[in-house]
């Protein structure tokens, strides 16, 4: 396995090179399935056979499958890269059909992604789950920043003296590959305009990571909406519901005075304390406490999707950033559907979860928090409840910059996100717009800081080279359209997704990459042997730092 990566500001292109060899006496079809982070998609795909490069094209999904099948039926080797129908995780498959006996082929898959952001650094990470078991990995990462690089850190390989290249050789398959880049102006708002000659397209990327100096959090009167979603299914009876009642009382006492709140019990049915979130006050808190005292595990099954859908159907008030706090043992009816529902609506809220009991379904709890940009905590014993709950509370009720508005240039055709979420401490806002025509010298961003004071940034527009920002702009808009389509299927939305994906050559829910080696023409039997390879389980980014082997840190300053 060989990896070639390109780090351009907060944009990443990661190319995996894999080699397939048919050691059997028959023509074979191999189907290789894997999961990549939800911030990524396939943006390039080609193959090499005997020194020849085989390129392909993005087509509508059904058309691409037909092209692939037709090639198989005529004895040609063909390749197909598709997104799986199960959208709970970002699952993809690579199919190589009609590979002749003794034939070797190299496949090059490129993923486009936005880099992680941690503690004021750009982070590129390849967890072991993304690499084949038992196969050492070599590779390199080029670092191309529009601002001065101050420091580069890596867990593998060597760093060039100019801090523009990291190289590694034969990294063990169980080791996490991490590269961090610190730049001089990381926390300053930026606007970078990129022109891509191939697509004749312009993309504007806007980023900001607000910092608040000398912020006295005691003076901040948090204005938030807090929705407690409480598991009251049969599996929560006895000690679990007792722990849940105790946790709820602690959380209710800790609510900020200016907050709005609601408590929703779920099982087979739902039990809403109020029709919608109401203002924190003494009378409403008394009503809530009485409700908590009577809370029992008496609502039947564990349907978490339905109350979440009802919550998301109520648009949040931008003056009250929404926090959803789920208390559950995780034994829900539809794990994938639940995680997917949160992921589709992640711009609405931050979701945190408190896992109850030692037998909690940690995959579900961590999965919904990952999808909801929050964090999880787990209560095992009664003695842990107060400290665990308050630790989670402090993470959930951070100060934030809110009501963010980007004054996009008039000739912006499409942009994402449609509505900017609040930016909490350490978070980074990344927004993309596709532009037709000229752009002015500045872009204006307005917001409210944690104290409620108005912020007004006039950000100079810089020029960037390459194509990554255009590809990622199209991808982010496609993701937004896919989420809209999942809520309400419309042919017009699907058409927009297909047009963007074909123009920018991206795999999506409605498009696939297909390659055909027209120089190969071998007889194909009706019993073509199919080999399926399931490479990874769904990856949760909340677990990245806990996985992989340790290694010596290397850095340049």
Where are any strands of DSSP class E within 408-544? 412-416, 423-424, 429-435, 442-448, 454-464, 511-517, 529-534
pLDDT tens string 56-71: 999 999 999 999 999 9
Does position 277 have pLDDT exceeding 90, yes or no? yes
Domain extent, residue 512, equals 2-184+507-551
Residue with tokens 């999942």: 486
Q: Are residues 367 and 318 in the same domain?
A: yes
Q: Are residues 253 and 370 in the same domain?
A: yes
Q: Are residues 319 and 426 in the same domain?
A: no
- The mean pLDDT of 313-333, rounded to a whole number, is 88
Q: Are residues 478 and 407 in the same domain?
A: yes
Confidence of residue 86 (pLDDT cuts 50, 70, 90): low
Domain count, the chain: 3
In this structure, what token pair is assigned to residue 308? 């979440």
Residue 495: the pLDDT is 96
Confidence of residue 341 (pLDDT cuts 50, 70, 90): confident
Q: Are residues 413 and 385 in the same domain?
A: no
Q: Indicate whether 491 belongs to any domain.
A: yes
Q: Report the share of the chain in percent with pLDDT over 70.
A: 89
CB 324 within 8 A of CB 227: yes
For residues 259 and 233, give the distance between their C-alpha atoms in angstroms, rounded to a whole number.
Answer: 28
Higher pLDDT, 125 or 538: 125
Residue 35: the pLDDT is 77
Residue 542: the pLDDT is 26
Q: Are residues 333 and 348 in the same domain?
A: yes
Residue finishing a domain among 360, 380, 396: 396
Q: Are residues 257 and 357 in the same domain?
A: yes
Q: Are residues 257 and 179 in the same domain?
A: no
Residue 284: the pLDDT is 96
Provide the mean pLDDT of the chain.
86
pLDDT tens string 346-367: 878 889 999 998 788 888 898 8
Does position 327 have pLDDT exceeding 90, yes or no? yes
pLDDT tens string 438-478: 999 999 999 988 877 888 999 999 999 889 999 999 999 99
- The mean pLDDT of 316-321, rounded to a whole number, is 83
pLDDT tens string 155-195: 999 999 999 999 999 877 677 788 999 999 888 999 999 99
Q: Report the share of the chain in percent with pLDDT over 90.
A: 55
Residue finishing a domain among 396, 431, 458: 396
Q: Are residues 39 and 152 in the same domain?
A: yes
* Among candidate residues 36, 179, 2, the one with its CA nearest the CA of residue 112: 36
The CATH number that applies at residue 208 is 2.60.40
For residues 11 and 205, give the distance between their C-alpha atoms in angstroms, rounded to a whole number.
Answer: 10
For the chain, the 3-state helix, strand and coil shares in percent, each to the nearest 5, are: 25, 40, 35
C-beta atoms surrounding 539 within 10 Å: 21
For residues 171 and 157, give the distance between their C-alpha atoms in angstroms, rounded to a whole number.
Answer: 8
Handedness of CA 513, 45, 341, 498 (dihedral sign): negative
Residue 550: the pLDDT is 35
Q: Indicate whether 408 belongs to any domain.
A: yes
Residue 380: the pLDDT is 78
pLDDT tens string 467-522: 999 999 999 999 989 878 876 778 899 999 999 999 999 999 999 999 999 886 66
Q: Are residues 178 and 256 in the same domain?
A: no
Cα distances from 23 to residues 26, 220, 521, in angstroms, run: 9, 67, 19
Higher pLDDT, 221 or 53: 53
Confidence of residue 536 (pLDDT cuts 50, 70, 90): very low
At 360 the three-state DSSP class reads coil
Q: Are residues 461 and 444 in the same domain?
A: yes
Q: Are residues 353 and 478 in the same domain?
A: no
Residue 132: the pLDDT is 62
Residue 220: the pLDDT is 62
Phi/psi for 406 (5° steps) reads -100, 125
For residues 245 and 379, give the distance between their C-alpha atoms in angstroms, rounded to a whole number.
Answer: 13
- The mean pLDDT of 312-330, rounded to a whole number, is 89
Residue 547: the pLDDT is 30
Residue finishing a domain among 377, 396, 415: 396
pLDDT tens string 199-219: 999 999 999 988 776 665 554
Q: Which of 76-80, 237-241, 272-276 has the lowest mean pLDDT?
A: 237-241
């Amino acid at each position: 396995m060989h990896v070639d990566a390109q780090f351009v500001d907060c944009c990443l292109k990661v190319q995996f090179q894999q080699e397939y060899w048919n050691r059997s006496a028959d023509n074979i079809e191999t189907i290789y399935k894997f999961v990549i982070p939800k911030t990524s998609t396939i943006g390039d795909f080609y193959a090499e056979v005997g020194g020849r490069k085989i390129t392909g094209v993005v087509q509508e999904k059904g058309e691409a499958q037909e092209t692939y099948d037709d090639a198989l039926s005529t004895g040609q080797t063909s390749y197909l890269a598709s997104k799986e129908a199960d959208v709970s995780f970002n699952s993809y498959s690579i199919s190589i059909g009609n590979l002749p006996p003794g034939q070797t082929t190299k496949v090059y898959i490129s993923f486009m992604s936005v880099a992680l952001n941690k503690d004021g650094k750009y982070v590129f990470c390849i967890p072991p789950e993304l690499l084949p078991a038992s196969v050492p990995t070599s590779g390199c990462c080029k670092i191309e920043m529009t601002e001065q690089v101050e420091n580069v850190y890596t867990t593998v390989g060597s760093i060039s003296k100019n801090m523009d290249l990291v190289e590694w050789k034969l990294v063990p398959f169980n080791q996490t590959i991490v590269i961090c880049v610190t730049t001089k102006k990381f926390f300053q708002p930026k606007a970078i305009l990129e022109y891509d000659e191939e697509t004749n397209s312009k993309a504007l990327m806007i980023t900001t990571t607000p910092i608040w100096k000398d912020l006295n959090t005691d003076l901040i009167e948090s204005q938030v909406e807090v929705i407690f979603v409480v598991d009251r299914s049969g599996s929560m009876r006895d000690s679990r519901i007792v722990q849940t009642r105790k946790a709820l009382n602690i959380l209710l006492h800790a609510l900020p005075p200016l907050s709005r709140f609601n408590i929703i019990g779920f099982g087979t049915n739902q039990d809403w304390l109020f029709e919608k979130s109401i203002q924190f006050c003494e009378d409403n808190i008394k009503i809530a406490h009485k409700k908590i005292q009577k809370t029992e595990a008496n609502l039947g099954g564990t349907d978490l999707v339905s109350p979440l859908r009802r919550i998301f159907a109520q648009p949040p008030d931008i003056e009250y950033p929404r926090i959803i706090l789920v208390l559950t043992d995780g034994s829900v009816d539809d794990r994938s559907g639940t995680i997917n529902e949160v992921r589709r609506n992640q711009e609405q809220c931050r979701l945190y979860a408190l896992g109850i009991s030692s037998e909690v379904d940690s995959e579900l709890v961590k999965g919904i928090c990952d999808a909801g940009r929050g964090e999880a905590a787990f209560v095992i014993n009664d003695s842990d409840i107060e400290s665990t709950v308050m630790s989670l509370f402090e993470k959930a009720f951070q100060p934030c910059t809110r009501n963010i508005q980007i004054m996009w240039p008039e000739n912006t055709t499409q942009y994402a996100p449609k509505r900017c979420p609040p930016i909490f401490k350490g978070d980074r806002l990344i927004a993309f717009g596709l532009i037709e025509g000229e752009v002015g010298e500045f872009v204006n961003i307005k917001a409210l800081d944690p104290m409620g004071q108005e912020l007004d940034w006039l950000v100079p527009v810089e020029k960037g080279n390459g194509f990554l920002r255009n590809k990622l702009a199209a991808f982010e808009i496609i993701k937004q359209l896919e989420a809209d389509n999942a809520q309400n299927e419309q042919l017009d939305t699907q058409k927009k997704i297909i047009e963007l994906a074909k123009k920018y050559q991206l795999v999506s829910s409605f498009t696939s990459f297909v390659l055909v080696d027209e120089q190969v023409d071998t007889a194909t039997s009706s019993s073509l042997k199919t080999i399926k390879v399931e490479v990874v389980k769904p990856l949760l980014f909340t677990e990245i730092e806990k996985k992989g082997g340790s290694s010596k840190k290397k850095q340049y300053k």
